[in-house]
Chain A
Amino acid sequence: MNHKKAIIFLAVVWIAIIGGFVAMKEYTIQTGEEVLLKTIPVDPRDLFRGDYVILSYEISRFESDILLDFEPGDKVYVKLDTSGYYAQIASIHSEPPEGLYIAGTLKHAFGDNAMGVEYGIESYFIPENKGYIIERAQRNSENDVAVTVAVGNSGKSVIKELLINGEEVSFDEPEK
């Protein structure tokens, strides 16, 4: 491969990778159905991407006895009931069910005879040193922290926004 061909090939690969990432996520956001999930966040730090909050959802934990046929690492498809304010689990499947469902990977969870599911929407990246805004909201038990998620046809999900009491979280306020 000469250098000219190599640089053209490289440009095509990079555009495909970056464009592919954006296109896949945008497709889910634009075409997916919007659901509201209740969450309990805590905030650590990613080496390359900075501060984020770990999101643990109500739909992330199950009693292990309803998952007898599953092993950690298995794909699970969780059918969602969106009749209430927050989306809830309607049923759990090993194959994609009819209707609106979200896909995840079964994860071992410590204690309480529980199992967990990882949906790939467990991190919410926030501006540096602004985690206190979410922490402060959490300290007040009357506050509702939730996430709007776009769920695509294949069960893939993308976070759209983090909400505190129904309002999109704003990081503009000065630190106190």
Chain B
Amino acid sequence: MANKKDVEEWVREGTITQAQADKMLADTKVKKEKARTNSMVTTFSTIGAISLGIGAVLFVASNWDAMSNLLKIFILVGSTFLATFIGYYLKYVKKNLPVVGASLLFLGTLLFGATLFLVTQMYHINANNSTIVLVWLLGILPLIYGFKSRPIAALSIVLFLVWIGLVVEHQSDLFGMVVDVAYLPLLYLMSGMLLFGIGTVHYFSDSLKEIARMYRLAGLRLVAFVAFLFTFDWFIPSGGGDVSTYFTFFFLTVAVAALLLVVVGLFFNPAKSKTIVLESGFTIGLLGLGLLNFFFPISDGVYQILYNLVFVALIVALYYVGFHREDITVVNLAMGWTAIYFFARYFDFFYDLLDRSIFFIVGGLIFVMGGIALEYKRRDIKKDFIHHPQS
């Protein structure tokens, strides 16, 4: 969409006539209005779909005994298929309400989950069962690949992470290994890299690029979050007993799958991006550190130093990739984590060393100046990216 200042500049330069400029600005106004309306419709229908989905899950959870199970299943299965097919009809057949249609398709996936919970509740299948979440996840995959739906891809990411947590919780209970739970953040670090790898291989197909980006960003955010936690000593697994064989097997499966996808991404990515070597190298390095931490857990602070170095390297890598690919989301991610990391270390290292009043005054000034600098930088980058949107 044309920028008013640019258009006026082009008229002054004589690149375009005033009539062309007026037409461009009028078109831009209409497009902006349309985009605003679309975004409002998306917001309203997505909130509506999520509310209805949560309502259905809560309805199942209340286990209302005034209604028979048969009637409940009839209502839920009916609603699931009705929402999905009306969504499909509006978005792909009639094509008159595509945004509402997409929201109804999303609602269908939530109702499908609620139906699964109802069926498993009816037959008293054990509580907190990870398999149900996995089945829900597998059940929505056709919608992700058939309709390239981003909200449903986001739901699949949430389900994947919930599934991992439930598997560990159940196995820890089964094997009596409370230590397994202490290793859960490390498993999530590996899972973040697996998600990133899954996203990378989705880039192989042009039609899946949007989904690929979602998976990669979700993986990146998860890795950054866990890596940040590991910059504090108390989150790092440091032994304290053996983990179960099952956890070890599960952990290694996730790590190997992540490694394979990274290697496949490195050698077969058709985009041949300049940053792919950096991304792959970093991922392999972090996988190696995670495995080292898993097999040789020690509590003398070595891993804390290593994870701090890794986190700083991750932020630097995010800035590099963000600038190189002109991707403002990645740059914003880097900036956000820079601020959080700076804040965390500031308290860690200086809180007990300096007089508190000086600490707050100096610290406050640094933050204000840092904030001004970041704001200017961000504005420059944004301006630059408006002219060269990332691919």
Chain A interface residues (CB < 8 Å from chain B)? 1, 3-7, 9-11, 13-14, 17-18, 21-22, 25, 44, 46-52, 54, 72-73, 105, 107-110, 118, 120-128, 130, 158-159, 171-172
User: Given that A73-B245, A123-B127 are known contacts, is A9 also in contact with B142, CB under 8 Å in the complex?
Assistant: yes
Cβ distance B26 to chain A, nearest Cβ, rounded Å: 34
Closest partner residue, chain A, to B133 (CB atom):
A48
> Are B176 and A127 in contact (CB-based, < 8 A)?
no
The B interface, classified by DSSP as helix, strand, loop or mixed, is helix
The 4 closest A-B pairs by CB, nearest first: A6-B146, A108-B176, A50-B61, A46-B127
Q: Mark B84-107, 1 if CB is under 8 A from A, else 0.
A: 110010001000000000000000
> Are A1 and B173 in contact (CB-based, < 8 A)?
no
B88 partner, pick from A7, A123, A159, beta carbons under 8 A: A7
Question: How many residues belonging to B are interface residues under a CB distance threshold of 8 Å?
Answer: 47
Closest partner residue, chain B, to A49 (CB atom):
B121
Q: How far is the CA of A96 from the CA of B116 in the complex (A)?
A: 30
Q: Is B143 an interface residue (CB 8 A)?
A: yes
Q: Is B298 an interface residue (CB 8 A)?
A: no
Contacts of A6 in B (CB 8 A): 142-143, 145-147
Closest partner residue, chain B, to A17 (CB atom):
B139
Q: How far is the CA of A130 from the CA of B245 in the complex (A)?
A: 39
Contacts of B138 in A (CB 8 A): 17
Cβ distance A9 to chain B, nearest Cβ, rounded Å: 5
Contacts of A73 in B (CB 8 A): 171, 174-175, 244-246
Q: How far is the CA of A50 from the CA of B117 in the complex (A)?
A: 10
Closest partner residue, chain B, to A106 (CB atom):
B174
Interface residues of B in 364-387 (CB under 8 A from A): none
Contacts of B146 in A (CB 8 A): 1, 3, 5-7, 9-10
Q: How far is the CA of A14 from the CA of B119 in the complex (A)?
A: 13
A158 partner, pick from B124, B145, B174, beta carbons under 8 A: B124
> Are B57 and A124 in contact (CB-based, < 8 A)?
no
Contacts of A107 in B (CB 8 A): 173-176
Q: How far is the CA of A41 from the CA of B116 in the complex (A)?
A: 25
Q: How far is the CA of A82 from the CA of B80 in the complex (A)?
A: 43
> Are A171 and B65 in contact (CB-based, < 8 A)?
yes
Contacts of B391 in A (CB 8 A): none
A72 partner, pick from B85, B120, B135, B175, beta carbons under 8 A: B175
Contacts of A108 in B (CB 8 A): 174-177
Interface residues of B in 97-152 (CB under 8 A from A): 112-113, 115-117, 119-128, 132, 135, 138-139, 142-143, 145-147
6 A-B residue pairs with Cβ-Cβ distance under 8 Å, sorted by A, are: A7-B85, A48-B60, A73-B175, A122-B126, A127-B65, A159-B123
> Are A11 and B63 in contact (CB-based, < 8 A)?
no
Contacts of B120 in A (CB 8 A): 21, 49
Q: How far is the CA of A121 from the CA of B125 in the complex (A)?
A: 6
> Are B145 and A1 in contact (CB-based, < 8 A)?
yes
Q: Is B68 an interface residue (CB 8 A)?
A: no
Contacts of B273 in A (CB 8 A): none
A11 partner, pick from B60, B61, B81, beta carbons under 8 A: B81
Q: Is B62 an interface residue (CB 8 A)?
A: yes
Q: How far is the CA of A125 from the CA of B77 in the complex (A)?
A: 20
> Are B142 and A10 in contact (CB-based, < 8 A)?
yes
Q: Is B64 an interface residue (CB 8 A)?
A: yes
Contacts of A171 in B (CB 8 A): 65
Interface centre among B80, B88, B125, B245 (most CB of A within 10 A): B125
Contacts of A10 in B (CB 8 A): 84, 142-143, 146
> Are A110 and B64 in contact (CB-based, < 8 A)?
no
Q: How far is the CA of A18 from the CA of B112 in the complex (A)?
A: 9
Q: How far is the CA of A128 from the CA of B121 in the complex (A)?
A: 13
> Are A18 and B63 in contact (CB-based, < 8 A)?
no
User: Given that A7-B84, A46-B127, A48-B61 are known contacts, is A14 also in contact with B139, CB under 8 Å in the complex?
Assistant: yes
Contacts of A121 in B (CB 8 A): 124, 126
Contacts of B135 in A (CB 8 A): 17
Contacts of B65 in A (CB 8 A): 127, 130, 171-172
> Are A3 and B92 in contact (CB-based, < 8 A)?
yes
Q: How far is the CA of A58 from the CA of B40 in the complex (A)?
A: 58
Contacts of A44 in B (CB 8 A): 127
> Are B245 and A46 in contact (CB-based, < 8 A)?
no
> Are B117 and A48 in contact (CB-based, < 8 A)?
yes
B60 partner, pick from A5, A50, A120, beta carbons under 8 A: A50
Q: How far is the CA of A139 from the CA of B201 in the complex (A)?
A: 58
Cβ distance A50 to chain B, nearest Cβ, rounded Å: 3
